[in-house]
Every structure is written in structure tokens, then in C-alpha cells.
């Protein structure tokens, strides 16, 4: 019998291969996946592994399975877009303008509400965490380094400071989505440098416990990111992939 960690690795690889094949369009919407014996042969795994992988993909909303139905690919609007694997597979396949528009719409709904709550509820520990993330962003701009990771920590710190369990859970799911946006903004010349004052304005409003000012500041930041994304899309530059390590800034 194989060790448990090897079984998990085989399972994860199988889920990854099938998930990417679905999102890339190799298996079209409404189409059936190959029969179990063919998948076992093609992937070089047992029936047990294939069945468990299918269960995982059902849970991610990519496929449906049942008697007389077989295993069919579901429409994109039923895919779980909060699942990090789904986001990663989409990134591997290429980000679309529609996907990025959905991301911006989501940010505009969720983040202002979270920041407003953060301005009312943030503890001293929350503020230290967000200040540390901002300091990391500032250092990356001035000395070079990993700006995106600290940018992500900054926004997730704000979400956690809302002290709303639903929003905190959503911040974990939004991680891959937010990183997509930050990678694009960072690819713009002087993008991180110009966004630093906007991040500072958000943090200052939260520290001052001014919810209305904090909400306005985060909306300005989100809309700035939207403009950056539109500029990158218009320039037809290759979009960054979140499957790679975060982009590194050069020293100013």
C-alpha cells in the first residue's frame, strides 16, 4: 500500500490535470468526460484516484455526475470562482477581460464594506499588521523587492480587521483574485510608487477611525487599479501569471 502523502500527491496531480483540461476548453461545456477506464489509462492512475478526483471537481462546480447523465462539464457561471485552484487554472489558461471586469466589480462591492468596518473595529494588533505590510510595500518601492506579497497582506489585513467572520473567510478566497489585480498594477511603470499614497490614505483613515473617509479612500485605490488594468489590456501586453513567483521591483 502506498504511503498517504504519495496518495495525496497523485490525487492532487490528477485533479490539477483534469481541472486545467476543463478550464482550457479541452472538454467543452456540456461535453462528457471520457469513461473511467480511459481516464485511468490516459492519466496512469487507479479507478479510486479518478473517482476521488471527480468528486473534487464536482465540489469545485466544474462538473456534474449522475446515473444516465455521465460526467459532464458545467457552464462557467456554475464554477466556484472563489476556489484558488479554479483561479490558478484560469490564470494558466490566460486571463480574460471579462474575468478581470468581474474581479473589479467584486472588489468594489466587498472591500469598501470591509474597510468601513475596519475603521470602526480594528484593534492595535490589526493596525500593527497593516502598518507592517505597508512598510514592506514602501521598502520594495524604494529598495526593490517583492511588492505584490506585501500589497496582498495589506488588503487581507484590512479584511481581517473588519472582524466579520464571513469577510475574513472571503479574504482567503479572494487572495488569488487580488494577487491577479496587484500583479497587473505592478507591471505598470511607477504603478506601485504612485499607489503608495493611496494606500497610506486608507490606512490613515482606519487609524483615525473615520469609516466614511476610509471607504472613499479604498474606492479611489480600487478605481486606480481598474484604470491600470484597462491600460495594460489596451496596450496588449502579456498579462502576468499568478502561478509564477510574485514580480520583483527594481530599486528606485
Give the span between the Cα atoms of 152 and 174, in whole angstroms.
10
Residue 237 — very low, low, confident or very high, per pLDDT cuts 50/70/90? low
Give the span between the Cα atoms of 41 and 242, in whole angstroms.
31
Say what the alpha-carbon torsion angle 74, 165, 176, 203 is, to the nearest 10 degrees.
Answer: 150
Q: pLDDT for 89-119, tens place per residue? A: 887 787 777 887 888 888 899 999 999 999 9
Give the span between the Cα atoms of 144 and 229, in whole angstroms.
22
Would 4-76 and 84-249 be classified into the same CATH topology? Answer: no
pLDDT at site 225: 83
What is the value of pTM for the model shown?
0.77
Helices (H) and strands (E) in the chain, counts: 10, 4
At 245, give phi and psi (nearest 5°): -60, 155
The topology (CATH level 3) of 4-76 is Arc Repressor Mutant, subunit A (1.10.10)
Give the span between the Cα atoms of 240 and 37, in whole angstroms.
37
Residue 5 — very low, low, confident or very high, per pLDDT cuts 50/70/90? very low
pLDDT at site 150: 94
Spatial contact of 175 and 219, defined as CB atoms under 8 Å apart: no
The position carrying cell 484560469 is 90
Q: pLDDT for 17-30, tens place per residue? A: 999 999 999 999 99
Residue 199 CB contacts under 8 Å (≥ 6 apart), including other chains: 134, 137, 151, 154, 221
Query: Which residues partner with 72 through β-bridges?
Result: 32, 64
What does the pLDDT average to over 156-162?
96
Query: Which residues partner with 109 through β-bridges?
Result: none
What does the pLDDT average to over 195-222?
96
Spatial contact of 248 and 141, defined as CB atoms under 8 Å apart: no
Give the span between the Cα atoms of 22 and 134, in whole angstroms.
38
Residue 16 CB contacts under 8 Å (≥ 6 apart), including other chains: 85, 89
Q: What is the CA radius of gyration of the chain?
A: 21
Q: pLDDT for 44-94, tens place per residue? A: 999 999 999 999 999 999 999 988 888 999 999 999 988 878 888 887 787
Instruction: Tell which CATH classification among 1.20.120.530, 3.20.20.140, 3.40.50.970, 3.40.50.2300 matches the domain 84-249.
Output: 1.20.120.530
What ranges do the domains of the chain cover?
4-76, 84-249
Amino acid at each position: 500500500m502506498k504511503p498517504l502523502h504519495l496518495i495525496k500527491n497523485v490525487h492532487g496531480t490528477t485533479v490539477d490535470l483534469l481541472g486545467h483540461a476543463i478550464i482550457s476548453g479541452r472538454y467543452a461545456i456540456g461535453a462528457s468526460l471520457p469513461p473511467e477506464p480511459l481516464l485511468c489509462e490516459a492519466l496512469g492512475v487507479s479507478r479510486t484516484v479518478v473517482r476521488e478526483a471527480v468528486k473534487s471537481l464536482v465540489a469545485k462546480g466544474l462538473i456534474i455526475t449522475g446515473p444516465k447523465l455521465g460526467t459532464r462539464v458545467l457552464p462557467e457561471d456554475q464554477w466556484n470562482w472563489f476556489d484558488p485552484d479554479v483561479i490558478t487554472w484560469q490564470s494558466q489558461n490566460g486571463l480574460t477581460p471579462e474575468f478581470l471586469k468581474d474581479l473589479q466589480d467584486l472588489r468594489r462591492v466587498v472591500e469598501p464594506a470591509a474597510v468601513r468596518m475596519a475603521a470602526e473595529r480594528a484593534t492595535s494588533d490589526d493596525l500593527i499588521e497593516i502598518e507592517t505590510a505597508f512598510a514592506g510595500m514602501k521598502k520594495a518601492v524604494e529598495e526593490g523587492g517583492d511588492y505584490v506579497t506585501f500589497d496582498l497582506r495589506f488588503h487581507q489585513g484590512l479584511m481581517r480587521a473588519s472582524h466579520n467572520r464571513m469577510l475574513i473567510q472571503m479574504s482567503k478566497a479572494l487572495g488569488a483574485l487580488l494577487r491577479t489585480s496587484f500583479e497587473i498594477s505592478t507591471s505598470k511603470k511607477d504603478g506601485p510608487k504612485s499607489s503608495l499614497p493611496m494606500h497610506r490614505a486608507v490606512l490613515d483613515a482606519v487609524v483615525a477611525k473615520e469609516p466614511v473617509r476610509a471607504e472613499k479612500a479604498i474606492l479611489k485605490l480600487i478605481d486606480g487599479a481598474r484604470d491600470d488594468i484597462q491600460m495594460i489590456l489596451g496596450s496588449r501586453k502579456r498579462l502576468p501569471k499568478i502561478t509564477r513567483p510574485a514580480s520583483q521591483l527594481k530599486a528606485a
